[in-house]
């Protein structure tokens, strides 16, 4: 009888130990899965010597994109991007650098950079137009390339400068999808006129998503939120909720100069202190 009781006790503790080991294994696997899920990506460039290797170029001439002295602080190095009137690359009037971080839906991205507009950026007596200085460009759907995909789309996030014949320049941030008969673009503006020879810092947080109730962005200029064009109220800390992916393929980051076509002059812009990190949230 005692032997039987002893066997029962041993079996009980053996099962208990096996259960604990099994539970610990499950917890460990969950931790590993969670760890694998939160993949962190980082890119940084202070433009001290040359462009980092993660950048790609879209420019007419390599001389259009170069490292130069900071116009306000000669000891500092910055990136200068030039766009001449005759420059036409990849189907547009552009001179840009780009990264393909491959942040698909479920990734949260935080990034920032500084930009400066020189005196000769500001012109009067030009027709109304726009110049995009930063955009997230979409990719054609799986199975298509740009040569076979005929739909016209707007960048799901872009930062652009609008100019008018009076020489007044405003900075806008737009997010959302626009293609065919669909227009979900949400437009915001910073109401102070842009000024020459002044460094501005743009920062943004984005959650990439195919759904309007999930995707969002939080843009800031020098730490200030933009204004809502429709309600004429400042966009507070609440996220701008907009889906920001046309399909499952990741968008890619671009900055530089991309113009509307009404401009009559060459343009230049300076960039510095690019910082980027993203993490997979789901």
Give 14-56 pLDDT, tens digit per residue.
444 443 433 333 333 333 333 456 778 999 999 999 999 999 9
**Is the distance from CB of 199 to CB of 156 less than 8 angstroms?**
no
- In CATH terms, the fold of domain 40-280 is Jelly Rolls (2.60.120)
pTM summary value: 0.84
The closest of 152, 117, 110 to 133, measured between CA atoms, is 117
What are the boundaries of each domain within the chain?
Answer: 9-38, 40-280
pLDDT tens, 126-169? 999 999 999 999 988 787 776 677 788 999 999 999 999 988 99
What CA–CA distance (Å, rounded) separates 276 from 1? 71
Token pair for 121: 């950026």
Two structure tokens written together for 239:
């996220």
DSSP H stretches of helix in the chain: 2-37
pLDDT band at 191 (very low <50, low <70, confident <90, very high): confident
In whole angstroms, what separates CA 263 from the centre of its chain? 26
């Amino acid at each position: 009888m005692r032997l039987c009781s002893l066997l029962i006790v041993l079996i009980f503790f053996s099962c208990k130990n096996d259960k604990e080991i099994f539970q610990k294994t499950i917890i460990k696997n969950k931790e590993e899965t969670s760890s694998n899920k939160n993949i962190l990506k980082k890119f940084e460039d202070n433009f001290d010597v040359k462009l980092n290797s993660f950048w790609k170029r879209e420019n007419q001439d390599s001389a259009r994109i170069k490292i130069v002295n900071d116009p306000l602080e000669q000891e500092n190095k910055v990136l200068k991007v030039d766009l001449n009137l005759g420059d036409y690359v990849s189907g547009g009037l552009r001179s840009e650098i780009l990264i393909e971080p491959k942040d698909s839906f479920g990734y949260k991205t935080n990034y920032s950079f500084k930009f400066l507009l020189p005196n000769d950026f500001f012109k009067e007596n030009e027709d109304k137009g726009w110049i995009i200085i930063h955009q997230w460009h979409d990719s054609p759907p799986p199975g298509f390339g740009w040569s076979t995909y005929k739909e016209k789309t707007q960048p799901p996030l872009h930062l652009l400068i609008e100019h008018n014949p009076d020489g007044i320049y405003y900075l806008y941030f737009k997010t959302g999808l626009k293609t065919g008969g669909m227009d979900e673009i949400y437009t915001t503006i910073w109401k102070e006129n842009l000024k020459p020879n002044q460094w501005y810092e743009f920062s943004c947080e984005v959650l990439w998503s195919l759904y309007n109730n999930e995707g969002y962005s939080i843009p800031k200029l020098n730490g200030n939120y933009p204004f809502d064009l429709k309600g004429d109220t400042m966009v507070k800390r609440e996220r701008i909720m907009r889906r920001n992916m046309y399909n499952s393929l990741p968008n890619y980051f671009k900055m530089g100069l991309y113009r509307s076509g009404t401009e009559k002059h060459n343009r230049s812009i300076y960039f510095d202190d690019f910082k980027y990190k993203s993490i997979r949230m789901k």
